[in-house]
Amino acid sequence: MRAIETIKNIWKIEDLRNRIFTTILLVAIYRLGTFVVLPGIDPADLTKLQGQTSGGLLQLLDMFSGGAFSNASVFALGIMPYISASIVVQLLGMALPSFQKLQREGESGRRKLNQYTRYLTVIILLMQAPTYMLNLGTQLAPVGASLPGGGWFIVSSTIILAAGSMFVLWLGERITDKGVGNGISFIILVGIIARLPESLTQEFIQRAASTSGGLVAFIAEIVFLLFVIAMSILLVQGTRKVPVQYAKRIVGNKQYGGARQYIPLKVNAAGVMPIIFAQAIMFIPITLVGFNTERSSAFWSSFLTGSGFWYNAIFALLIILFTYFYTAITIQPTQMAEDMKRNNGFIPGIKPGKKTADYLDSIMSRITLPGSIFLAIVAILPAFAQMFGVSHGFAQFFGGTSLLILVGVVLDTLQQVESHLLMRHYDGLLKTGKIKGRSGSIALN
């Protein structure tokens, strides 16, 4: 079988084999850490907290943390504070000249921006950790338990939670450097996949217990889920090719150039970054009103369920805006036009230089709009799935952040493995020997 042959080829490449083992080891450390409960907390008293994360935005936050949030783990705050900090730094890069200068300084500027991002991450963690502890105390009260007394416990737990999240960030960076795929996105992927078997099993039991065609409905759900996955892959990989004609050049007695090539412009050049950024913004209300939504106003409570009209409308709008924002960062028509002109290339019927840059910019604007709208529709599909009776946990895989991150990260990781195989003249993972890469992948570090 082709799959077995591919596994053998992977095993023959020592560097790739070591990277895969390193990734597995670091992921195992992360998963183990999600079950390490904060000192002074009895795991048996966490039933109320786990019930709180069974729906709404807190369930999604718990999913991103791999269940660490509901386990009161040292990794409870997960990687989302770092993503929030990354959003702020990238926005500052568009607003402040000093940050724009750092972005143009290459590797040294990138290191400086990463340093600022980490500082901001620590600040966010120091704000979120006490809120988490206050909510934890509220959830322990109904079961007759309480947090250890004294302010020192809150201070020490805040330090532990902040250090735990920074350690998760460190694990992600090690996966990026020594493993396969982008570490930060891989950490999120692991948390999502960890929830899939439980959600699928619960949905099957719920449908099987129904006396009115429950199993038929379950099969229909699986078929629709596969359809959404296929559409998500098309969204991630879709391109429009722009023809580029290279002028003929004669060097000595040989003629070079003259061939026509294509620039593949992505329908969704930003990948899944817009949905991650938008989701991070949607988590801000939790920080503002506290994790304990029961004490929030009626408006905030309905907003934090994740299925209300205003939540999904704002979420979709943010995705569209961030798609344009991130596309503007990753795709630079002016630079592309200059590169073509420098290599004696031109788009047939378009003058080189500014006219080419304007043409590429107009093409990107036209193809980004439908891509961003489709991305927003897929993102809010879980709300529609719940309207048709799908359980909240399983509905998260019918689109939304979970599915798009899962599809995007898997394709990125397969692309890296594919590159290692093709570089050493082995067949790739697919019959075509090629997995389309994605510009604008989840690369936060």
Distance CA(154)–CA(173), nearest Å, equals 29
Residue 435 has pLDDT above 60, yes or no: no
Helix, strand, coil percent content, the chain, rounded in steps of 5: 70, 5, 25
User: Does residue 297 contact residue 104 with C-beta atoms inside 8 Å?
Assistant: no
- Which helix or strand (DSSP H or E) is residue 318 part of? helix 309-330
User: Does residue 68 contact residue 37 with C-beta atoms inside 8 Å?
Assistant: no
- Name the fold adopted by 2-423: Preprotein translocase SecY subunit (1.10.3370)
Closest by CA to 149, choosing from 133, 165, 126, is 133
pLDDT, one tens digit per residue, over 1-18 is: 666 777 777 777 788 888
Helix (H, G, I), strand (E, B), or coil: what is residue 41? Answer: coil
Mean pLDDT of the chain: 78
Per-domain residue ranges for the chain? 2-423
Helix (H, G, I), strand (E, B), or coil: what is residue 430? Answer: coil
Residue 250 is given by DSSP the state E
Residue 148 has pLDDT above 90, yes or no: no
Q: Copy the structure tokens of residue 363.
A: 């093409």
Distance CA(268)–CA(322), nearest Å, equals 11
Residue 443 has pLDDT above 50, yes or no: no
- Which helix or strand (DSSP H or E) is residue 249 part of? strand 249-251
Residue 37 is given by DSSP the state B
Please give the radius of gyration of the chain, using alpha carbons only, rounded to the nearest integer: 24
Residue 431 has pLDDT above 60, yes or no: no
Residue 45 has pLDDT above 50, yes or no: yes
54-55-59 Cα angle (round to 5): 75
CB atoms under 10 Å from CB of 96, counted, come to 11
pLDDT, one tens digit per residue, over 120-133 is: 999 999 988 888 88
Closest by CA to 62, choosing from 286, 351, 318, is 286
pLDDT, one tens digit per residue, over 291-321 is: 555 555 555 665 666 667 777 888 889 888 8
Distance CA(93)–CA(73), nearest Å, equals 34
Distance CA(92)–CA(85), nearest Å, equals 11
Residue 66 has pLDDT above 70, yes or no: yes
Note the pTM of the prediction, 2 decimals.
0.75
pLDDT, one tens digit per residue, over 195-232 is: 888 888 888 888 888 767 778 888 888 888 888 888 77
Q: Copy the structure tokens of residue 55.
A: 């729906």
Residue 292: the pLDDT is: 53
